[in-house]
Chains A and B, each alone.
Chain A
Amino acid sequence: MSTESQVLRPPLTAAGSQPIHLSTSPLQVFLALIWDTVQEARARWLFWGLFGLSTLLILFFLFILKIDVVQGAISFMGLPAGAGRTVFSIEKFVRSAYMFVAIFLYVWGTFLAIFASAGLIPSVLEPGRIGLLLSKPVSRPMLLLGRYAGTLLVVALNNTYLIASIYLIIGWKTDIWYHSFLYAIPLATFNFAVILTVVVLIGVLSESAALSLMVAVALMFISSLLAQRQIVVNLLNSEWSRQLWQALYWIIPKTWELGKVMRDLILREDPAYWIAPLWTSAAFGVAVFLGAVARFQRKDY
Chain B
Amino acid sequence: MSSRCAFKGENSESMTSDYAIETDGLQKIYRTRFTGRAFTAVAGLTLRVPIGSKFGLLGANGAGKTTFVKMLLSAVRPTAGRASLFGRDAQEEESRRPVGYLPENHRFPTYFTGAGMLDFYGALSGMSAADRKRRIVELLELVGLETWGDVRIKKYSKGMLQRLGLAQALMHKPRLLVLDEPTDGVDPAGRRHIRDILNGLTGAGVTIFLNSHLLSEVETFCDYVAILRQGHLALEGKMSSLLTKQGVVITVRDVNEQAQRLIAGMASTTRVVEDAVEFTVPTPLEANRSIDVLRAAGATIYSVIPTTSSLEDIFIEITGSSRNAGARGEIPGAEETVAAAAMSGVHQ
Task: Tell me the A residues contacting B by CB distance below 8 Å.
Answer: 6-16, 18-25, 28-29, 32-33, 35-36, 39-40, 42-44, 123, 126-139, 298, 300-301
Contact = CB atoms under 8 A, between A and B. Distances in A.
Given A9-B10, A138-B93, A298-B77, A22 B126 contact: yes
Contacts of B127: 20-23
Nearest to A301: B75
Nearest to A35: B120
Contacts of B206: 10, 12
Interface string B104-125: 0111111110001000110111
A15 B142 contact: yes
Interface stretch (B16-24, B166-174, B287-295, B303-311): B166-174
Given A15-B141, A139-B93, 7 more contacts: A12-B173, A21-B128, A36-B120, A127-B105, A133-B124, A137-B97, A300-B30
A138 B7 CA distance: 26
B108 A136 contact: no
Contact of A12 (B94, B98, B131, B201): B201
Contact of B74 (A18, A128, A134): A134
A75 to B, nearest CB: 53
Nearest to A25: B126
Interface string B245-268: 000000000000000000000000
Contact of B75 (A11, A123, A300): A300
Interface string B161-202: 000000010101111001000000000000000000100110
Contacts of B106: 128-129, 131-132
**Most B-side CB within 10 Å, residue of A32, A44, A130:** A32
Contacts of A25: 126
Given A22-B127, A29-B123, A10 B10 contact: yes
Given A10-B205, A13-B200, A137 B76 contact: no
A129 B107 contact: yes
A9 B142 CA distance: 19
A136 B125 contact: yes
A129 B138 CA distance: 24
Contacts of A20: 127, 131, 135, 172-173
A136 B121 contact: yes
